[in-house]
Amino acid sequence: MKTRVDTLIKVVELRKEQASRDLQNARNRLDALQKELGDKVKARKDAEGYIDAFGRRGSEPNSLSLHGLWIDSLYRSIKLLSREIEAQEEKIAYCQDALERVYLELKALTQYKQTIQDRHKATIAGLESKELDEIAGRKHNRGAQTI
């Protein structure tokens, strides 16, 4: 027996699949951002070591200022990536909450469907019982009339 609840369950299952995909995409993006951040931090450390070594050799001030600008851009890039990682972590938390809500909604709909099915079975059993009582009553009445 197909009910409106079945249609709702299908819609919620589609939402569950979409929420799962969103969560997985957010996790993949976070992994990529963390890897990129690690690469930038390593590049910054290498650049700082390079500039220190370059400065000890007594190089030109102009080249040192260029390298300083390079390090500053790395710092800004690292700061931006850190903010983006925080935003992605918040998105993951939101996706997990959304997925949990969808699971709860699906569970509630499934329980509601089971309740409807149980009521339907009870109604049919009650009707069958009533019909049997009526048939038994008719037979009893016929038997009483013939006596």
User: Could you report the per-residue pLDDT of 35-55, keeping only the tens digit for each?
Assistant: 999 999 998 888 888 777 766
Q: pLDDT tens, 74-111?
A: 899 999 999 999 999 999 999 999 999 999 999 999 99
What are the Cα distances from residue 4, in Å, to 7, 45, 95, 147? 5, 61, 27, 54
Domain count across the chain: 1
Helix axes 4-56, 61-146, angle to 10 degrees: 170
Count of positions (residues) in the chain? 147
Q: Residue 139's domain spans which residues?
A: 4-146
More confident residue, 136 or 86: 86
Separation between Cα atoms, residue 122 and residue 117, nearest integer Å? 9
pTM exceeds 0.85 for this model: no
The domain that holds 72 is classified in CATH as: 1.10.287
